[in-house]
A = this chain, B = another copy of it.
Amino acid sequence: MTADEDAVLAANEAFYAAFNAKDFPVMDALWARESHVACIHPGWNVLSGREAVMESWRGILLNDEQPRIVAGGASAHVVGETAYVVCRELVAGSPLAATNLFVREAGEWRIARHHSSPVAMVGG
């Protein structure tokens, strides 16, 4: 694994840690500021642009009923200043899969896209 892949996977872990810590400022800092961002939460419609995306995260992280998320099986692929991660998610026993895209901004890997959706099973 390259140093870039390591750094991307660390950013991916930080994303899920912020989710579980319900830490909006950290979540906000993890999202890209220069690149266009978009987000598709499971079953939601496309959220496009930083304002809509961060508003959604504020709602999710402020929701006391929001269960924790368990993420695993992440793999990262770096292409220049962007990187693609796929990983599994488990929320309240339901298996999901996520595509997370990172862009390098100011030397940091920041999230530009998060697309999460239900999958048939955890393994496979």
A-side residues, CB < 8 A to B, are 35-36, 38, 40, 42-46, 48, 75, 77, 79-82, 84, 86, 88, 97, 99, 101, 103, 112-113, 115, 117-121, 123-124
Nearest B residue to A123 via CB reads B45
Chain A contact residues: helix, strand, loop or mixed:
strand
Smallest Cβ distance from A89 to chain B, in angstroms? 11
Contacts of A112 in B (CB 8 A): 79, 84
Smallest Cβ distance from A103 to chain B, in angstroms? 6
Nearest B residue to A83 via CB reads B82
CA distance A57 to B86 in the complex (A): 19
Contacts of A99 in B (CB 8 A): 38, 40, 99, 101, 113, 115
